[in-house]
Structure 1
Amino acid sequence: MAARPDIEELFTTQVAFVWRSLRHFGVREADLEDQTQEVFVIAHRRYTTWDGEHPRAWLYAIARRCSAAYRRRAHRRHELPVDAVPESPSSSDPAAGLELDRLDRALSAIDEDKRTVFVLFEIEEMSMRDVAQTVGCPVQTAYARLYAARRELASLLEDER
């Protein structure tokens, strides 16, 4: 069993993961830094109650709740989160940008439960056991959601051609 990371090490090793997770949850680019900070403020506050296992799963759950609160606040302020975050102007390959846009549109069309499992397993490279724990379902259910997400994603991407 690995040693429990201190809060600074947790931040250093997981900040990029939290940022990407919040982005996948629809937090606007302009608000990502603030929301990432919010996740780690909550993590710091709850650090003593954390069992020290599965840091990504623990931070992902916090990020999910923070992004949900963010979207509720945005709704009350009559702000609308965007479906796809525009690529940064530094992108030198326009074709890659178009492919990422296609993938973002297809991912956003998939049910949230399936999309979450797909992103955590395929993009974030979490183990299926950690994915299942993060989303709060049995491992076999997580595998079923992954299979369904892959099938739907392939179909959506094929239809878009």
Structure 2
Amino acid sequence: MSRESEDNAYTAFVEAAWHRHLRTATLLTGDRYRAEELLQDCLVKLYVRWHRATTDDPHAYLRRMLVNGQVSWWRRRRRELLTGEPPEAAEHPTGPYDGLDELHQALRALPDRQRAVVVLRHFEDLSEKDTATALGCSVGTVKSQNARALARLRTTLRTNQEVRS
């Protein structure tokens, strides 16, 4: 395949997949601006590895990159917290997700691993096995993290609903 045709295939992929993967990144990060940054970083890395990604499923390849990129960010943030350096304040943007603000707040309150499991299982519609592969853990871990996360989401959302009533 020529470089020009690879570039055209990559461009078509990005145009078709941008919104889908931005949604995933937003749910993983809890912040629209951080999600755009994460997705752009991953797309640059994907461009360099495009020939490898097209041998399998480029969506799965990019999804794995998003999860790994966010995990790396979580680790850097934790290291900053441990060294006493203040983390950057995340802005809460307005946008197409406003109608789901309560759910997004509840997702942001979940521990990092639980949030990743919920996003991949329920928003990306991955199987337990595919989620385990994407996160580099066992299927049992996915099941237990998912159960804990859903229970916590139910409690949080029910409590919020009762407060409004």
Partner of 1:14: 17
The answer for the alignment partner of 2:42 in structure 1 is 39
SS of alignment partner, residue 55 of structure 2 = coil
* Corresponding residue number in structure 2 for 1:87: 94
- Is residue 2:145 matched to residue 1:136? no
Structure with the largest fraction of helix: 2
Shift in Å at residue 115 of structure 1?
1.2
With normalisation by structure 1, the TM-score equals: 0.69
- Tell me which amino acid in the other structure corresponds to 1:79: E
TM-score for the superposition, normalised by structure 2: 0.68
Distance 1:50 1:158 in 2: 42
Residue deviations 1:13-41, cap 9 Å, x none? 42223212222233754565554332111
Is this contact kept in 2: 1:117–1:145, CA < 8 A? yes
Shift of 1:64: 3.3
Q: Is the 8 A contact 1:39 1:63 kept in 2?
A: yes
Mapping 1:1-161, distance limit 5 Å: 6-26=9-29, 28-30=31-33, 33-50=36-53, 52-67=55-70, 79-82=88-91, 85-88=92-95, 97=99, 100-160=100-160, 161=162
CA distance in 2, matches of 1:103, 1:16: 19
Q: How many residues align?
A: 146
Check 1:155–1:61 CA distance in 2 against 1; reply closer, same or farther (3 A cut): same
Tell me if the contact between 1:57 and 1:133 (Cα under 8 Å) persists in the aligned partners. no
**Quick one: higher RCO (CA 8 Å, sep 6+), 1 or 2?**
2
Gaps of 5+ in 1: 1-5
**C-alpha separation between the residues in 1 aligned to 2:34 and 2:138?**
33
SS in 1 for 2:90: coil
Contact 1:131 1:142 in 2 (8 A): yes
Aligned CA distance change for structure 1 residues 106 and 135 (closer, same or farther; 3 Å): same
- Kindly indicate whether the alpha-carbon contact (under 8 Å) linking 1:58 and 1:134 is maintained by their aligned counterparts in 2: no
Assess, with a 3 A threshold, how the Cα gap between structure 1 residues 115 and 79 changes in structure 2: closer, same or farther.
closer
Cα RMSD (Å):
3.2
1:3 alignment partner in structure 2 = none
Identity of paired residues, percent? 23
Which stretch shifts more, 16-25 or 128-137?
16-25
